[in-house]
Structure 1
Amino acid sequence: MANSSSEVITCKAAICWGVGKPVTVEEIQVDPPKATEVRVKMLCASVCHTDITSTQGFPGVYPVVLGHEGVGVVESVGDQVKSLKEGDVVIPTYIGECQECENCVSGKTNLCLTYPIRLTGLMPDNTSRMSIRGQRLHHVLSCATWSEYMVADVNYVLKVDPSIDPAHASFISCGFSTGFGAAWKQAKVESGSSVAVIGLGAVGLGAISGAKMLGATKIIGIDKNEMKREKGEAFGMTHFINPGDSTKSVSELVKELSGGRSVDYSFECTGVPPLLTESLEATKVGTGETIAIGVGTEPIVPFGIGSILYGRTLRGSVFGGLKTISDLSIIANKCQKEEFPLQELFTHEVTLADIRKAFELLKQPNCAKVVIKM
């Protein structure tokens, strides 16, 4: 493989050619980085629910090189890149932070106007550094981690300590951090409060972890998979609800566990439309706050007006409200110091060549995260 930043690299990558089409691992060409870009040799990646929806129509650009969670080493840099050098360990992000635009300085949102989420699957100059047999390939958002090499704009990567566990670094590049940030930065969970988390995948477990850090005293995890009880407890869950064990609704079960008063905060992490209403109904009248995190392929079903009419708040969340430089760097530091039990997430591992197996593993009840070794 070439090491010169001026040469095209041929490598393997996982590609989806269209909605519902099988994922194939093929040889692609990765161009050298342009002025403000870095080319990254991936160390490992992991599978997030958004990778599955990327094969089902979100955001709808094909052919696409999959993957947006991962960690790698900078192989080469563009001539205007000053903040990174060859050999730096980095994780990709799909949100940038200029620290100067109206949104960045407002303190109200993590959605930077200068470096926005890239739904086009292309670089900021609307071109691609990836191709196959002369045909342009797209990214998932701003990166493509299921490839041995990828190129990203320097404003969409974060340098991390090289001693960080690669698998754990991959987990915090999206899933876990999204949930953690939703509790920390979006809801700003208060000490002594009560919390309900619907869906105990990496995102939900991150929300539990964030709520615990902030001092929530009652943290209710909800999942139809009984095996998630142990995972939830490892991250700080105090109570568990399996909706399959009762004919009552999720919101009723949460109400029973909270002395009939419901909870202060709820986090909907599944993207299943009817559960948004349940998540709202599970919070207190007048003051309850629901953070919608899960992304599904179905349109959201209109919720009962009473769910929100009685003073509850519903907020959407992208990347848990985390800013790349200001906030994700703090999580990365905590990860490097092993302050989170992220080993609990690492349940399965596959090679890039065997990527299709990852989709089958995710259907198994004991599967939390699948790590892809490059």
Structure 2
Amino acid sequence: MPMPMPMPSEMNGKVDINGYSNPNETAGKVILCRAAVAWGPAQPLVMEEICVDPPQELEVRIKILFTSICHTDLSAWKGENEMNRAYPRILGHEAAGVVESVGEGVMDMEAGDHVVPIFNGECGDCVYCKCEKTNLCEKFRVNPLKRGMTKDGKCRFSTKDGKPIFHFLNTSTFSEYTVLDSACLVKIDSKAPLKKMTLLSCGVSTGLGAAWNTADVQAGSTVAIFGLGAVGLAVAEGARARGASKIIGIDINPDKFIKGERMGMTDFLNPKDLEKPVHEKIREMTKGGVDYSFECAGNLDVLREAFLSTHDGWGLTVVLGIHPTPRMLPLHPMELFDGRRIMGSVFGDFKGKTQLPHFAKQCMRGVVNLDEFITHELPFGKINEALQLLVDGKSLRCLLHL
């Protein structure tokens, strides 16, 4: 096992990567590095020395400097969806790093650029990318079943004896080096603090974007957020920034309420403490229901409460939680005739490569408070401890230093 690489340091946003591979020496070659490999459902991740191939056409190889763990990583690690089980596999999709080398045809990035991977890519050329009504991409949209690279279906990871290691969500960031399609990588301002930019890969962009882009929360409006993980709290931060007058947080973990208040929430409800359904309590508090509700728990019963908590005539429910079960929506079609609407949101409806660089600059200006989302920091080698923190509900984002 190689000696651990030195941790990156940041001065005024710029990253000191002394001690990392020199692109002039490694470009076009296989790199040996550490990765946290999943060998089976719910098994501890194993630190392995793996081989990372050079990037092929329109691909980029990056050095991961920071990565964090999302509930989507957690559910994949647990193997909650049988169709998503593929082993060995490198999970992870929230990260920030530096470009090591680029493949043929990559024109918008070069070695040394600061970048953020995105699980929902943007090629810029397909009919979807050219449509202002969606942030999906024909080739690079989020696909949990995808196991290799788009161009040839092969893996760019392998064990030292040549066994392929599968990819995850277009990114696979639980590795010191990873290879991505260039459509799934965003170049950001070199002055942006990469440590915080990790959050833009998924959680913060998904939640805040749902408030800004999907729902377009208006000043003075009322909001209910069901599930106060990182995504739910990002919704609160987005609603606060838009000037919502009442932001109600709903969660069965009372510890989440303290954090929620710092993120702009005005009221809190614990369903376990109520003698009536949550939606009835919310309707009482808001004289008929909230303007917007956000379901961030991945629970269909919670989704129904979120839907019924909105005001008839104009209420909008945005679905953000991941629902792994085969159960269908708990709604009768006629309930939609009361004017309430329901819709899903992927990556907060951000077009990653087009819009994320501007969002990163907004974060640099303090429009969004990212510090509150990072609750723990650990070295990469303690990734299983970070997983357990999320399982126990003790962390929002545990930042891992590679």
Q: Same fold (TM over 0.5)?
A: yes
Structure 1 length normalisation: TM-score? 0.94
2:95 counterpart of 1:70: yes
Deviation of 1:183 after TM superposition, in Å, equals 1.1
2:383 counterpart of 1:355: yes
Contact 1:226–1:242 under 8 Å retained in 2? yes
Contact 1:194–1:219 under 8 Å retained in 2? yes
CA distance in 2, matches of 1:269, 1:366: 17
Could you give the per-residue CA deviations for residues 161-209 of structure 1, whole angstroms, max 9, x where no partner exists? 2232233111111001100111111112222221111111111111112
Q: Structure 1 223/351 Cα, relative in aligned 2: closer, same or farther at 3 Å? A: same
Could you give the per-residue CA deviations for residues 24-60 of structure 1, whole angstroms, max 9, x where no partner exists? 1211110011121111111010010000111124433
2:56 counterpart of 1:34: yes
2:368 counterpart of 1:340: yes
**What's the counterpart of residue 85 of structure 2?**
60
Map 1:175-190 onto structure 2 (within 5 A): 175-190=203-218
Contact 1:10–1:29 under 8 Å retained in 2? yes
Map 1:23-172 onto structure 2 (within 5 A): 23-55=45-77, 56-58=79-81, 59-118=84-143, 119-125=145-151, 126-132=153-159, 133-172=161-200
Deviation of 1:213 after TM superposition, in Å, equals 2.4
CA distance in 2, matches of 1:245, 1:214: 30
Q: Structure 1 135/10 Cα, relative in aligned 2: closer, same or farther at 3 Å? A: same
Gaps of 5+ in 2: 1-20
**What's the counterpart of residue 280 of structure 1?**
307
Contact 2:237–2:369 under 8 Å retained in 1? no
Aligned match for 2:33, one of 11, 19, 28: 11
CA distance in 1, matches of 2:88, 2:136: 27
2:238 counterpart of 1:216: no
Q: Structure 1 4/345 Cα, relative in aligned 2: closer, same or farther at 3 Å? A: same
What amino acid sits opposite 1:112 in the alignment? C
Q: Structure 1 97/302 Cα, relative in aligned 2: closer, same or farther at 3 Å? A: closer
**What's the counterpart of residue 231 of structure 1?**
259
Could you give the per-residue CA deviations for residues 230-254 of structure 1, whole angstroms, max 9, x where no partner exists? 2222222122212222232221221
2:275 counterpart of 1:253: no
**What's the counterpart of residue 264 of structure 1?**
291
* Superposed CA RMSD: 1.8
2:345 counterpart of 1:328: no
Structure 2 length normalisation: TM-score? 0.88
Contact 2:233–2:260 under 8 Å retained in 1? yes
Q: Structure 1 221/156 Cα, relative in aligned 2: closer, same or farther at 3 Å? A: same
Contact 1:234–1:341 under 8 Å retained in 2? no
What amino acid sits opposite 1:124 in the alignment? T
Gaps of 5+ in 1: none
What amino acid sits opposite 2:69 in the alignment? V
Deviation of 1:114 after TM superposition, in Å, equals 4.0
Deviation of 1:309 after TM superposition, in Å, equals 4.5
Contact 2:196–2:371 under 8 Å retained in 1? yes
Deviation of 1:301 after TM superposition, in Å, equals 4.7
Once the two structures are aligned, what percentage of the paired residues are identical?
41
What amino acid sits opposite 1:216 in the alignment? A
